[in-house]
Structure 1
Amino acid sequence: MTSAEIIHWLLTEGRLCTSSPELLKKFGTLLEVELGCDRVWLGTSVLHPQAAGYVWFYEEGTIRERIFSYEEDALLQNIDSPAIRLKNGVNEIHLQAPDADGMQDVEDLFNRGYVDFFALSFFFQGKWSGGITYSSRTPFTQEKIDILRAINPAISAVVEPLTCRLVTSTLLETYLGADAGRRVFLGQVKRGDGQTLRSVIWFSDIRGFTRMSERLELNQLLETLNSAFEQVVKAVEANGGQVLKFIGDGLLAVFPCDQGDAQACEAARKAATQLSSNLSEVEVGVGLHLGDVNYGNIGAPGRLDFTVIGSDVNLAARVESQTGKLGQMMLATPAVAKHGSWKAIEKVSLKGVAQPVVLYAPND
């Protein structure tokens, strides 16, 4: 194939791909057949709360993915590599075995039987955003190098929206929660769009947070808060729950009753039990209630939130407010307590709730 034919493929069939791995699988297969390119590496920097960059490899018909944390990326800045040279302004890199020019990554490829290596940068809207490398077990001819060089603007143009798609979906899931983020990404964005969701509502907060905020420096307070939230989120998500939002030192989550009320109640209880055993620096109270909530887009035309509302949400929060008073880490309403082994603790009046409620703690 000529460079024009590959560019045409990229801008027609290639643009139909919905992810970088899908594109790389098809693109790598094409280059393997047409140019004898045995390996393609594609890396891009991203805007992500935890990851500095994504890397995908095409080799022997399969795709591998690696995500680099900010810590890993910081360490790699001090290691000579094709990616760092491209990032620092080198236009392209072309090496043939055995000369790896002092780069361990390339030397490792040559030791595995590759004999030719060619690397180019990606630029998204004029800004360096990553690169692509091509490796072969037979030498690239000058004609093939010219083709790889000629198609680079096209592959950059196709990868750019896929990277934006990845960043957008990741940020939505990070800030809204996995399920809510996916719903918004897939188009559930109109104010008032929503559904009734039967679930166990979880409300938790950190005990003594006001006193803690008065005695700790801000950086220590944030570190403690983030550490506690990490443990709460880990316990909730490990048991099928969905974290919806952080409210000050509190957290709102739901355990959908997709497999029945009893399963959701047990999952929420198990999550709270796991959380209790994993916390060390702070104490957290958890309130649980089973009910129906409105789940969807709520707010003003220019500022929406994707969350749950309803009297059952309020009740879960009121139940949690009693955990410290009653000396319990976890309290539940009768709706939850009828599923599993619980013991009645006390009948209490809750703010905003018409009738007194019997609160239960785990019976073990």
Structure 2
Amino acid sequence: MAKLRDAGLPIARFVLSQPTLHPELRAVAYNWTEAKPAIVELRLPHGVETTQIYLSSPTRLIYDGTDMVRRRLEGDEEPSFPILQELKAEGHTDYLARRLVLTRGRSAMMAISTRRRGGFTDGDLAMLDAVLPSLATVLELRMVWNLTSTLLDTYVGHGAGERVLTGQIRRGSVETIPAVVWYCDMRGFTGLSDRLPGPFLIAVLNDFFEALAEPLGAHGGEVLKFIGDAMLAIFRIDERTSEAEACEMALVAAQLAVQGMRRLNRRRAGEAKPPLDFGLALHVGEVMYGNVGAPTRLDFTVTGPAVNLAARLEGMSGQLGRQLVVSSAFAARCPGEFVPLGRFPLKGMAEPQEIFAPA
């Protein structure tokens, strides 16, 4: 904006809007005004396109395919759009919105307004026409980067996505890291899948995973994958997070997940739906973190004995009548009180394992 203003374009307000491919967001807008020159980012959720604010705005016309919307704001005539009425009341004299044509049929929108008497001149518009192709190119590059980051965050997790973006994409590219391993699984899912139609079953899974993943993410955990009705996640131990801190964060998240499932089941009871049950196990140890899979289809995940042990512990939780169990290693390293539930042979484990539960 500074360069355009320095070149003589009398911009008082600038808005750049772009659609985005994001599970929670419909679009992102960037607003600039001469009164507050810092750019403000607005994240617009899905559904914004059905609101009255959007439907009664020039933005809708642009995204419906109109190339340009221009309205003079001087004079006695009342503007037809509410946003233009606000701009006129603030002393703006001219408004211009333009569609930015991107690749693959995509569009973005740029809107500017001025307070200069007489509005924009033909020379102003010619200057704007000259910079629009460059602006569209820069915006497209930013959109591609944001799209890539969003897709990786959504489908492989934030931490794994960052590693992929930095070039860790070779099959077998793994490192051994210390981490808390979280493994949980819904109980009775086979029976549900036999009884419920597909869309209802997916809704159950979404509710189930949301109740678990929300506290996990809020306390530093990273969901790595959903395996049918199971979820695998880690809490990394590094220079910023000690072993005890990671264990404590995982335990707090797990206890909040148990509470979240209770709330979900109260809601389901009010809807005359059966309750959902689950088991969750926490273990701490070293895992192999990186790319595993076929040459053309890789999975960024964790593997190793620590992951196997967490899965086996979760399998025992139902027999022990507990929703949350932890390994002896976790109980020894996590602040808090734990009660021993006994030593049990676990499939694939050379020695019986002692299992604990939070007191």
* Pairwise same-fold verdict (TM > 0.5): yes
CA distance in 2, matches of 1:65, 1:172: 22
Partner of 1:293: 287
Task: Assess, with a 3 A threshold, how the Cα gap between structure 1 residues 100 and 327 changes in structure 2: closer, same or farther.
Answer: farther
**Which runs of structure 2 are paired with 1:158-173 in the superposition (5 Å)?**
158-173=138-153
Partner of 1:335: 329
Partner of 2:272: none
**Which runs of structure 2 are paired with 1:1-364 in the superposition (5 Å)?**
28-34=1-7, 35-59=9-33, 60-75=36-51, 79-98=55-74, 99=77, 101-125=79-103, 127-138=105-116, 139-258=119-238, 259-279=241-261, 280-281=264-265, 282-338=276-332, 339=334, 340-363=336-359
CA distance in 1, matches of 2:109, 2:233: 40
Q: Is the 8 A contact 1:191 1:297 kept in 2?
A: yes
* Cα drift, residue 189 of structure 1: 1.2
Tell me the amino acid that sits aligned with residue 32 of structure 1.
R
Partner of 1:15: none
- Which consecutive residues of structure 2, in runs of 5 or more, have no partner in the other structure? 266-275
Partner of 1:19: none
Q: Is the 8 A contact 2:73 2:79 kept in 1?
A: no
CA distance in 2, matches of 1:328, 1:275: 14
Q: Is the 8 A contact 2:21 2:150 kept in 1?
A: no
Tell me the amino acid that sits aligned with residue 31 of structure 2.
F
* Cα drift, residue 78 of structure 1: 6.7
CA distance in 2, matches of 1:100, 1:354: 81
* Cα drift, residue 126 of structure 1: 5.8
Tell me the amino acid that sits aligned with residue 271 of structure 1.
A
CA distance in 1, matches of 2:292, 2:65: 47
Number of equivalenced pairs: 336
Q: Is the 8 A contact 2:212 2:260 kept in 1?
A: no
CA distance in 2, matches of 1:306, 1:289: 20
Identity of aligned residues (%): 35
Please state whether the residue corresponding to 1:131 is helix, strand or coil: strand
* Cα drift, residue 40 of structure 1: 1.2
Q: Is the 8 A contact 2:48 2:54 kept in 1?
A: no
Q: Is the 8 A contact 2:49 2:55 kept in 1?
A: no
* Cα drift, residue 158 of structure 1: 1.8
* TM-score normalised per structure 1: 0.88
Q: How big is each residue's C-alpha offset from its partner over 1:216-242, in whole Å with a ceiling of 9 and x where there is no partner?
A: 222111111101111111111111111
Q: Calculate the aligned-residue CA RMSD, in Å.
A: 1.6
Q: How big is each residue's C-alpha offset from its partner over 1:25-52, in whole Å with a ceiling of 9 and x where there is no partner?
A: xxx2222333121221111112222222
Q: How big is each residue's C-alpha offset from its partner over 1:137-182, in whole Å with a ceiling of 9 and x where there is no partner?
A: 2122221022112322221122111101111111101100011011
Task: Assess, with a 3 A threshold, how the Cα gap between structure 1 residues 128 and 254 changes in structure 2: closer, same or farther.
Answer: closer
Partner of 1:7: none
* TM-score normalised per structure 2: 0.89
- Which consecutive residues of structure 1, in runs of 5 or more, have no partner in the other structure? 1-27
Deviation larger for 74-83 or 167-176: 74-83
* Cα drift, residue 106 of structure 1: 1.9
Task: Assess, with a 3 A threshold, how the Cα gap between structure 1 residues 78 and 305 changes in structure 2: closer, same or farther.
Answer: same
CA distance in 1, matches of 2:220, 2:253: 9
CA distance in 1, matches of 2:315, 2:341: 14
Q: How big is each residue's C-alpha offset from its partner over 1:82-104, in whole Å with a ceiling of 9 and x where there is no partner?
A: 11111222221111215564111
Q: How big is each residue's C-alpha offset from its partner over 1:268-294, in whole Å with a ceiling of 9 and x where there is no partner?
A: 111111011111232221111110001
Q: Is the 8 A contact 1:201 1:290 kept in 2?
A: yes
CA distance in 1, matches of 2:202, 2:244: 36
CA distance in 2, matches of 1:322, 1:113: 70
Q: Is the 8 A contact 1:83 1:130 kept in 2?
A: no
CA distance in 2, matches of 1:268, 1:224: 24
Tell me the amino acid that sits aligned with residue 147 of structure 2.
V
Q: Is the 8 A contact 1:121 1:128 kept in 2?
A: no
Q: How big is each residue's C-alpha offset from its partner over 1:242-286, in whole Å with a ceiling of 9 and x where there is no partner?
A: 111101000000011222221111111111110111112322211
